[in-house]
Each structure stands twice: as C-alpha cells, then as structure tokens.
C-alpha cells in the first residue's frame, strides 16, 4: 500500500517538473516578446510624435482657412466664387498633405515592425522536441 503512495508522489513530482519546465519556456518567450515590443516602441515613438505634430499643424491651418471662409465678406458673386475656389484648393492641398503624412507613418511603422521581427529571428528559442518557434 505504501508503494502506491510512493508511486503517486513520484508521479506528482514528475508532472510538477514537466509543468515547471514548460512554464520556464513560456516565461522566456514572454520576455523575448516584451523586449521586441519595447524595441519596436522605441523605434516608432519619435516617428509617431513627429507625424502627430505635422498633422496638428495641417489641421490648424485648415481650421484657420475654414474660419476665414465663414467670416469672408460677401462681395460680388464672382469675387466670392474666386475666394471659394481658392479655399477649396487650400482644403485639397491640406488633405493631400495629411494623406501623404499618414502614408509615410504607415510605411515607417511597417518598416520598424519588420526590423523588430528580423531582429527577433536572430535568437530563436529551442524547445525540447527539437523544433524552432
């Protein structure tokens, strides 16, 4: 009867050791992922801040143009039309600049993401089965 308890205790210790081993592997992978995310954020943060600053400047200009359009003096129909066309051109220019900034940010983020992925592949974690992940 005591051998059953001893066998159960050994089995419990073996299962506990296997669980601990896999927990250590999971924690190592979590640590590597956290480091990769930190590196990604360090690379992209200045670019995002610059882009946000530029978008804020464009929105400020657009806001001033809209206010000017709202408070424009009404004159002859032709001068009013000319002003409206000028404002429309300014809106289009601001919109094009905003789209270009967003595209630039997207490409910068993608580039930084691929760089961090490439950097993460240099140190793969090997598992007990022999595969890589």
Domain locations along the chain: 2-121
Average pLDDT, the chain: 79
SS3 115: helix
| Closest of 33, 35, 39 to residue 133, by C-alpha | 33
pLDDT tens string 20-77 = 999 999 999 999 999 998 888 888 888 888 888 888 888 888 888 777 766 665 444 5
């Amino acid at each position: 009867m005591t051998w059953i308890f001893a066998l159960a205790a050994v089995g419990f210790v073996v299962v506990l050791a296997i669980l601990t081993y896999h927990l250590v592997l999971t924690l190592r992978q979590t640590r590597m992922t956290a480091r990769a995310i930190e590196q990604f954020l360090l690379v992209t943060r200045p670019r995002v801040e610059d882009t946000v600053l530029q978008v804020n400047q464009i929105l400020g200009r657009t806001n001033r143009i809209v206010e000017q359009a709202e408070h424009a003096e009404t004159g002859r129909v032709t001068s009013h039309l000319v002003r409206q066309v000028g404002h429309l051109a300014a809106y289009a220019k601001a919109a094009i600049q905003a789209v270009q900034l967003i595209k630039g940010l997207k490409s910068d983020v993608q580039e930084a993401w691929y760089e961090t992925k490439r950097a993460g592949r240099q140190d793969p974690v090997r598992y007990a089965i022999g595969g890589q992940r």
